[in-house]
Chain A
């Protein structure tokens, strides 16, 4: 019997359909959240259902997560993204001890047990310079989309970005460009600053085991390299890292049987 997990984040809504007996992923889908989290959740679920060839009423259970979880009236249960990312990451990489996630509005480091249960976590949602928002700011200034930024950063030598705040960093970036620093070096500098923030956030929890990096930024190879080098160890990255939260939610839906 199929079950579903939906993760409505600030940037994208993700849905994963799972076979509740085998825990095999039958389908997954991602749509931009836009201004209507409820509609985005519905759309993601419909698309995933269509792909899996499953009718929505055939789903035995649906679990919602993400900041838009309260906007999902059709979910049987809602669970926070912390719990879901932990479960999803450990399911994909059983050696995971720490889950790192950089979202559009917040970033988090989660210490997990072998069964995926959360031991401790820290979140940053106060400062945009530690979240995906920082890259949106950069992409606005440089007029590049995030993929292009990643390619540019991969070629650059990191410029020093000292500002502790995304708003001031914006001024600093404009200043650097005016001084003739190349967009590649600026992009590499922003990546490094973001990665360092993530590393210092994660140091606030007891870290052991492997690191698994989830969320949209994990699709950017240059950023993953940068994060690994700042951490001093390689991080696990799944094929569709944005779906980790939805996968965790689907695993909870499957467990409820």
Chain B
């Protein structure tokens, strides 16, 4: 299926690096961010461009293993490998890198990264309650001061409000694209959903990106076509982040005949789940919305189940697949509770896949995926 609006979006996002360099030359600052607990709006309010740095490529893993243990999660190794080799243009362009103390592997990796890059750490609490929220807001206040100093700007209520509106518009546009998959059969494949979300996280011009996404939503919605038949099993994919380069399970599921209708992870649907209150105190609104993110680093992580239940029904999922990167303890342990919840409360078939970025286990994974899809027929 090829839509002119999707092609145009790909075309323009192919030039993301170039556009970023041009913006930099024009004096725009770039803020690299690793995780969705880092707010986009504070960087935007500073007049800077936030870009996503999350490592999704296998190529940067071998160099990382010269320092990091092999047993670490591939996302951490991939991210670090880019820094070691200086091979990620977005990282190279970043004037400052914001990172959060999420899982153990990541925060220790960031200590090493700080030797090479100018970093700012947000100390993320691991529970979602009132004292944690107050603390988290304090972290955002620290970040505001840091960016004000570094970039010699003022980040006041006015700037934050306008950034929140800009980011909300963008989120709404991306959501309207991702929500197209609620249709049965879905007009977009999971691979396309993943790729669109991935590419959208590097666009320097946010208003442009928003427009392009709105075009996609409009055009695809009007077309009524689908790459799938109505009987293709609809999969809700949950778990770890997935991007271009770490997409092998999405591809495998669809190569075997499934339709991945929703990617419930921080690289895709978790980004658009909630809009930020445009009228409340901006830092209060930001802190509470971001802290609410249902990542397995939270303990407990009650929102994960609420979200799964909603998404499974909104996207009319036939089954849930939980993807875990090898070495990710939090998602791996949590998978047991997710399985219990999905099978007993949602009454849906469940499959956990534990793997890394390398293609080495494709044949073995194929047996699991095919058997799982046979089970759904």
Using a CB–CB cutoff of 8 Å, the interface residues on chain A facing chain B are 67, 79-83, 106, 117-121, 123, 125-126
Contacts and interface: CB of A to CB of B under 8 A. Distances in A.
A81 B368 CA distance: 10
B364 A80 contact: no
B85 interface: no
Nearest to B368: A123
B215 to A, nearest CB: 41
A118 B375 CA distance: 6
Contact of B364 (A82, A83, A106, A120): A106
Contacts of A67: 363, 367
Contact of B367 (A80, A118, A119, A126): A80
B199 to A, nearest CB: 33
Interface in B342-377: 343, 349-350, 361, 363-364, 367-368, 370-371, 374-375
Given A106-B364, A120-B343, A123-B364, 6 more contacts: A67-B363, A80-B370, A83-B374, A118-B374, A123-B367, A125-B361
Contacts of B361: 125-126
A80 B343 CA distance: 22
Overall SS of chain B's interface: helix
A204 to B, nearest CB: 8
28 contacts: A67-B363, A67-B367, A79-B374, A80-B367, A80-B374, A81-B367, A81-B371, A82-B367, A82-B371, A82-B375, A83-B371, A83-B374, A83-B375, A106-B364, A117-B375, A118-B371, A118-B374, A118-B375, A119-B375, A120-B343, A120-B349, A120-B350, A121-B371, A121-B375, A123-B367, A123-B368, A125-B364, A125-B367
Nearest to B375: A118
Nearest to B376: A118
B331 to A, nearest CB: 16
A117 B363 CA distance: 23
A14 B363 CA distance: 21
A120 B367 CA distance: 14
A79 B371 CA distance: 8
In the complex, which of the residues B343, B350, B367 has the most CB atoms of chain A within 10 Å of its own CB atom? B367
A199 B43 CA distance: 52
A186 to B, nearest CB: 29
Contacts of B371: 80-83, 118, 121
B338 to A, nearest CB: 13
6 closest A-B pairs by beta carbon, nearest first, are A82-B371, A80-B371, A118-B375, A83-B374, A80-B370, A125-B364
Nearest to A82: B371
B74 to A, nearest CB: 15
Interface string B120-136: 00000000000000000
Contacts of B374: 79-80, 82-83, 118
Contacts of A123: 364, 367-368
Contacts of A80: 367, 370-371, 374
Contacts of A79: 374
Interface in B299-323: none
A117 B376 CA distance: 10
Nearest to A66: B367
In the complex, which of the residues B343, B361, B364 has the most CB atoms of chain A within 10 Å of its own CB atom? B364
A81 B364 CA distance: 12
B354 to A, nearest CB: 8
Nearest to A81: B367
A83 B373 CA distance: 10
Contacts of B349: 120
Contacts of B364: 106, 123, 125
A121 B343 CA distance: 13
Nearest to B365: A125
A64 B364 CA distance: 17
A231 B364 CA distance: 27
Contacts of A117: 375
In the complex, which of the residues B361, B370, B371 has the most CB atoms of chain A within 10 Å of its own CB atom? B371
A234 to B, nearest CB: 27
B238 to A, nearest CB: 17
Contacts of B370: 80
Nearest to B336: A204
A247 to B, nearest CB: 17
A119 B364 CA distance: 20
Contacts of B367: 67, 80-82, 123, 125
A236 to B, nearest CB: 21
A103 B153 CA distance: 65
A173 B255 CA distance: 43
